[in-house]
Amino acid sequence: MSGVHIEIGRPQEAVKQWSSKSIYFSLLESNHSATTQAESAGFLAKQLNETHSHTADMPANIEQLDAWLSDHNEVVGRQYHEYLAARKAGQPRWYFGTKSHALFFLRAVAPTKLVDGSWLYGLMKHWQDPRLASLIKIYLEELGDGVEAMNHVVLYRKLLKLNACEDWKNLDEKFFTQGAIQLALAAHTDSHLPEVIGFNLGYEQLPLHLLITAYELKELNIDPYYFTLHTTIDNAQSGHARGAIDAVREAMPLFGESRDYMQRVIAGVKLNDVGLSTLDVIKHFDLQGEVVRILQSKANIGQFMHSDRCVIGGKTINEWLRDQDQVAVFLYEMEKIGWVKRHQNPEDSPFWKVIAGDKAPMFGVFTGYEQQVIYDWIAGEKIESMPMLARLGRPWRMVEKQSVAQEEARHKRYGNVYDFQSGNKITHQLRQENDFTQDQLSFERHVHGIDDEEKLMHFLVDWMSPAKHYTSIGLCATRYFKSHMDSLF
């Protein structure tokens, strides 16, 4: 008898396994195909079904939301106070053992952070509806109202760049699930408005992990601004947490039967449980496993690049790299012959000298993130006693200053600075039309050539999609959109 097992009496329905990663990237394409629409609808329905039995601590009675919000904030405030007291009393960091652990986290949550706010995008075409005003305001604020330095996705992209963590697209499927659900909500807002409102309500509440993450990133010399910004902008008095509650109330008249509406809102709140949580991602880190993964990722090319003179454990490096399953054994062999001297200064290990430093023979093979992982792994138990600069890198304020200067230089080149209120360009006129300014100029000409308000807003909204809002034209479109909205109210 073969291994095929057929259950008698049960319909043979295939359970569709949606790929979060492919849905994520398909939804980031400009025009969704019919297949993408259908697959993402199925994916969303499946996630709603799976979270249906979860419990949410959110009250189903709208009148109790204010009290719930202040209780929630009080609890988080108290827990954070306890955390600070514990740290002050000498406890080690709760989340990140090493800098590479923190960088792993930044990279692993990138698919979610890079679509920050996206679940609200589907509302933007309803910009004239005052019952959605709070949600539209939150989306615009996620986009920094079109100001590059305040756009949450731009900020996160910069954070990844500064920390050499830009290779997030290679991450496994499971890291894309939460981002995929956010994009799916945007694609199906017309049929899932209460769920979008509920998801927003759940997402915009200040969690304890945000406070601890910001605190520990700073300790590890990583700019915590993206995270501290969210502790302020999502505040309970006037920020997104408050706006999210107002939004539940404002949109209620759209739905006749309030009980059904609130139940769907709660279903949306529970969608926040989909995929890996922040704490799951943090726990997912395995330093040794990450070193193995990094070396495996280099093996495809590396297996042809080394000289056959160097033999370790009876095999050449090329031979070791030819079989990815052998990488862990290869590491062990390197330790055995002293190429890697674990639990001491990595500078004493020949392997480290070969890969790190400007003049190292393998300079540039490993990204900054990958080097940090290898450094922390070699230093092992002695990591905390390593010199600060080698262990944590240059102070982030210094790095940030350099990148701001680069940004300014870029702006000067493209002349892409617009007045916040009017949307008009306020820098010098672009000197001339050239290959570098074509996109800006044709965008402007197009915007000024549309005299129908509906058509203009439709055009701008298209540029404000999760895939495009952080680009220079997307930011510009957001500023035009925002200034038009301001002129209406």
Please report, as ranges, the residues that interact with Fe ion according to CB under 5 A: 116, 142, 152, 234, 240
Cβ 356 to Fe ion shortest distance, Å: 35
Report the residue number, 223 or 234, with the smaller CB distance to Fe ion. Answer: 234
The residue (of 168 and 203) whose beta carbon lies closer to Fe ion is 203
Question: Strand ranges (DSSP E) for 15-103?
Answer: none
3-state secondary structure of 344: coil
Taking only Cα atoms into account, the Rg of the chain, rounded to an integer number of angstroms, comes to: 25
Which long-range contacts does 444-448 make (Cβ < 8 Å, 24+ apart)?
Answer: 447/477, 447/480
| Nearest C-alpha neighbor of 465 from the set 50, 36, 143, 46 | 143
Q: Of the two residues 26 and 118, which places its CB atom closer to Fe ion in the complex?
A: 118
With beta carbons less than 8 A apart as the criterion, state whether 243 and 137 touch: yes
Nearer to Fe ion, 58 or 114 (CB): 114
Q: Please, what is the minimum distance in Å from the beta carbon of residue 261 to Fe ion?
A: 23
The residue among 168 and 320 lying less far from Fe ion, judged by its C-beta, is: 168
| CB nearer to Fe ion: pick between 36 and 112 | 112
Name which of 324, 320, 46, 37 is nearest 184 in CA terms. 37
Output helix, strand, coil percentages for the chain, rounded to the nearest 5.
65, 0, 35
Which residue lies nearer to Fe ion by CB, 239 or 393?
A: 239
- In whole angstroms, the minimum distance from the beta carbon of 217 to Fe ion comes to 16
- Long-range Cβ pairs for the range 380-385 (8 Å, 24+): 380/342, 380/343, 381/343, 382/343, 382/344, 382/345, 383/98
In whole angstroms, how far apart are CA 269 and each of 14, 40, 358, 435, 443? 28, 19, 49, 47, 38
Pairing type for strands 311-312 and 315-316 reads antiparallel
Shortest distance, CB of residue 230 to Fe ion, whole angstroms?
A: 6
Q: Cβ closer to Fe ion: 142 or 250?
A: 142
Question: Which is nearer to Fe ion, 116 or 290 (by Cβ)?
Answer: 116
Q: How far is the CB of 198 from Fe ion (least distance, A)?
A: 15
- HSE-up of 367 (CA within 13 Å, CB side)? 19
Closest approach of Cβ 151 to Fe ion, in Å? Answer: 9
At its nearest, how many Å lie between Fe ion and the CB of residue 403?
Answer: 20
Kindly tell me the burial class for residue 138, based on how many C-beta atoms sit within 10 Å of its own C-beta (0-12, 13-18, 19 or more): buried
CA geometry: angle 13, 14, 19, nearest 5 deg: 150
Q: Are 327 and 293 in contact (CB under 8 A)?
A: no
What's the closest the beta carbon of residue 235 comes to Fe ion, in angstroms?
A: 10
CB of 44 to Fe ion, least distance (A): 21
